[in-house]
Structure 1
Amino acid sequence: MIGVFAGPADRGDAADLAGLLGPDAVVPDGPVKIAASNLWSRLDAAVFFLDAGSVVRLIAPLVRGKDSDPAVVCVDRRFAVALAGDAAALTRQVADALNLAPVVTGGPSVDSVLDDLAEQLDARVEGDVAACVEAIEAGEKVVLRNPLSFPLPALPPNVVADGENATWVIVVDDRAAAAKKNVLRIVPRTLVVGVGSTRGASATSIGAALSELDAQGGLDLRAIKAFATLDAKADEPGIVDAVEDWGFWHGDTADLLTFPTEELAEIGVPNPSSVVRNSMGTASVAEAAALRGARQIGGGAPVELAAEKFKRDKVTVAAARVLPRGRLALVGLGPGPAEERTPRAEAEIRRAAFVVGTPEAIEAVTPILRSGTEIRHGGATELAASGAAVAFVAFGAGPTLDLPVNADVIVVPGVGDG
């Protein structure tokens, strides 16, 4: 949601601007301070028809941190000013719409790129982010290792895939690794852990079995997205408590997915058990539940068994991985002017490693591209199918393509598109 805030004298201009910003923009009723306070936690961006000093004083009690606060732009006399957050693109859009001069201190910072990357991958970050960012911004060589081939946004040219004498290493992986100096780990939540246990198994014993996924399976437990088991185990106290304990220790929550016996019985696993089949009606609980849960949360993405079952203290656990696949954003640019692009469209363009379109469409979006973005005039589907993050841009109602089989496809129409 984009909040456009204005006093009575500017509400007409605010309404006109909201119309140009698209359906996500609203002009709240009532006093600006009260309206902003009520909506703050729900906003992706905020535009204030107030001078910069007044906006700073107004939002000061509301800000909590860059991970949660909206981008803030103020319309101040003859200027549109990027005041807080990643507001550069929106500032230029507001300036174009209102025929003002944009005031932007610079492009997106490296730390915002890393923040975006962590958000896109639903990832946890381990390491000294500030020091890594400082090295990148200083132009030092930084190696990026991405062994599972996650679709990543454009990164500065000094962030390279391999090489020696790097001052920092960034690793994007869900597998366990010892903490090392000058290594920044980004841990995507890709794993579903299947759990089977005897009746009455304790949360402690289930937690001990989970630790085997780290110690023997080589998986980072922070990468767990969900747990899965049989329907009959949905209210098993030990399993329920173990899931809650995981959330407590990792500062997060994970769903407990449950499936009927007949569904799990149909899933092929590497380690079926005749004993489990005779007692439960399925040859596998942990491995089958993990694979079935991964398919559910993967939304069509391929899955694999990341760790075969481990048994400990009458508890069995296994883990399945949702494999990454490419991302293709079909972005409509509207009739042409920058104000016809929605903030969501610009966000998709900036998160792509490859931007594909006609020379005219590429020229229109060049001011908002991140450093390191590769420009192409064709091959969008092939790039996405190979695992890349791609934005295909076109004027009017937006591009249409033969969609790739192995890619997530996002359609973002421009303002005024059907």
Structure 2
Amino acid sequence: MIGLVALNGTGRLLADEIHAAWPETTRIHTAVVSACFGPTEALEYALGRDDLVVCLAPVATTVRLLIDGSHLRPGGPGLVSLDLDLRYAVPLTGRDSGADELAEELAALLGVRAVLTSSPPPATAPPVAQPGPVLRVTDRAHPGEDVLLVHPRTLVVGVGAGGGATDSELMRLITDTLAEHGLARASIARLATVAGKADHPEVRWAAFCLGGVPVDEHPAAALAAVAVPNPSDLVGAAVGTASVAEAAALASAPGGELVATKRKSAAATVAIARAAVRGRLAVVGLGPGAHDLLVPRALAELRRASAVVGAPGAVGAVAELLRPGTRRIAADDGAGAAAGAAVDPTVDLAVDLAVDLAAHGHAVALVALGDGAALSVPPGAYDVHRVPGLPLHPLTPDAPAHPQGDPA
């Protein structure tokens, strides 16, 4: 018998899915803290009763539970950790325990990747080198093979629930919508709905199942002003806005877009928006370029940036202060500034390059020797932070300490 240990509501939904596929060979053990049967006790109980155990949690969580009190006995059951994002099934016991085979069966059932950790039998020939996995940051669920995923919190789920919503109806609708559009549950940052619905039992249950995400409430008048592709006159007459799910998702994702339009069940509605990813553009004056004269905020912006852009001299002046891997982009137009020229022809090129990177969501430091006054950037899909440099000439009583930018 295979024991399925569910530590929370999300784990219980996944356990139900596995049990539906293997009804004769699985049983579910659900942790209930209020009944003094918490995660450690649930795992301990399953290990003492079942031949094989699947803990529906990340490896780190499962290992911590083992350290806290659950102990694997020699010759005992096989144990597999299956993360709730359905990425990996990881055996935590030896090959003889059957955990490897169980991980491979879960991979075939759910489309996860079985990560076999036990030692393979001796090979008769040298193994062929295989390319390593690719690290990909995406809110898509399964972008391809040999990919290690990082799911950013970019999705907002707009929800509507009527008085006749049945148990778990809204959560099932959310799950089906994510699957239909290939979106990752781990990328959900929040739920959004009309004012007065955050305490609806179905909304609260969905928020719990999604890991306790916050629920935004928007006044009906505010939602009525949001342009949506699928308005409903019937909904408008009932709640004062022609859209709840689509409008609420967009209202909680300023500048974003709908990636899943309205989907309905008998008494629930779901739509999903992807929030706009705003970049960061810090305009940093370097003063005379001496490291010991940099203001602390300038150093912090340089360490924070994923790319540093500026004239060759400015980029070179800060090169040794940057984190490993930071892109250094010297904006040299091939000619450089003419001797004694009032305007550096590389300035506009540096600004254009920095703005383009920031508009695509990067954290950019646009650097210049001096106070950076010549670096003027247009507004865009990024936050601008101006860091003043030290003046090139000694301060006089009439000269402000920070002639340019926001000294905060």
Does residue 180 of structure 2 align to residue 216 of structure 1?
A: yes
TM-superposition CA deviations, 1:19-65 (whole Å, max 9, x none)? xxxxxxxxxxxxxxxxxxxxxxxxxxxxxxxxxxxxxxxxxxxxxxx
Q: How is 1:78-227 mapped onto 2 (pairs within 5 angstroms)?
A: 167-177=132-142, 180=145, 182-199=146-163, 201=165, 204-227=168-191
Q: Could you tell me how far 1:409 is from its partner in structure 2?
A: 1.7
State how far apart, in whole Å, the 2-side matches of 1:342 and 1:202 are: 59
Q: Could you tell me how far 1:288 is from its partner in structure 2?
A: 0.7
State how far apart, in whole Å, the 1-side matches of 2:351 and 2:274 are: 24
Write the letter of the residue equivalent to 2:264. Answer: K
Q: How is 1:28-43 mapped onto 2 (pairs within 5 angstroms)?
A: none
TM-superposition CA deviations, 1:389-411 (whole Å, max 9, x none)? 42111345445413242322233
Q: Tell me if the contact between 1:330 and 1:410 (Cα under 8 Å) persists in the aligned partners.
A: yes
1:405 to 380, 384, 389: 380
Match of 2:273 in 1: 320
- Residue 185 and residue 342 in structure 1: after superposition, are their counterparts in 2 closer, same or farther (change >3 A)? farther
Is the radius of gyration larger for structure 1 or structure 2? 2
Match of 1:112 in 2: none
State how far apart, in whole Å, the 2-side matches of 1:375 and 1:363 are: 10
Q: Could you tell me how far 1:413 is from its partner in structure 2?
A: 4.2
| TM-score under structure 2 length normalisation | 0.54
Between Structure 1 and Structure 2, the one with more helix by share is: 1
Structure 1, 322-331 or 280-289: larger mean CA deviation? 322-331
State how far apart, in whole Å, the 2-side matches of 1:413 and 1:200 are: 59
Q: Could you tell me how far 1:312 is from its partner in structure 2?
A: 2.5
Match of 1:306 in 2: 259
Q: Could you tell me how far 1:179 is from its partner in structure 2?
A: 7.6
State how far apart, in whole Å, the 2-side matches of 1:343 and 1:245 are: 43
2:247 to 288, 313, 317: 288
- Residue 262 and residue 368 in structure 1: after superposition, are their counterparts in 2 closer, same or farther (change >3 A)? same
Q: Tell me if the contact between 1:331 and 1:391 (Cα under 8 Å) persists in the aligned partners.
A: yes
State how far apart, in whole Å, the 1-side matches of 2:295 and 2:194 are: 44
Match of 1:365 in 2: 318
| TM-score under structure 1 length normalisation | 0.53
Match of 1:160 in 2: none
Is the partner of 2:160 in helix, strand or coil? Answer: strand
Structure 1, unaligned stretches of length 5 or more? 1-123, 129-164, 248-252, 296-301
Match of 1:382 in 2: 352
TM-superposition CA deviations, 1:88-111 (whole Å, max 9, x none)? xxxxxxxxxxxxxxxxxxxxxxxx
Match of 2:238 in 1: 279
State how far apart, in whole Å, the 2-side matches of 1:409 and 1:166 are: 40
Q: Could you tell me how far 1:282 is from its partner in structure 2?
A: 1.6
What percent identity do the matched residue pairs reach? 42
TM-superposition CA deviations, 1:63-122 (whole Å, max 9, x none)? xxxxxxxxxxxxxxxxxxxxxxxxxxxxxxxxxxxxxxxxxxxxxxxxxxxxxxxxxxxx
Q: Which has the higher contact order (CA 8 A, sep 6+)?
A: 1
Write the letter of the residue equivalent to 1:275. Answer: L
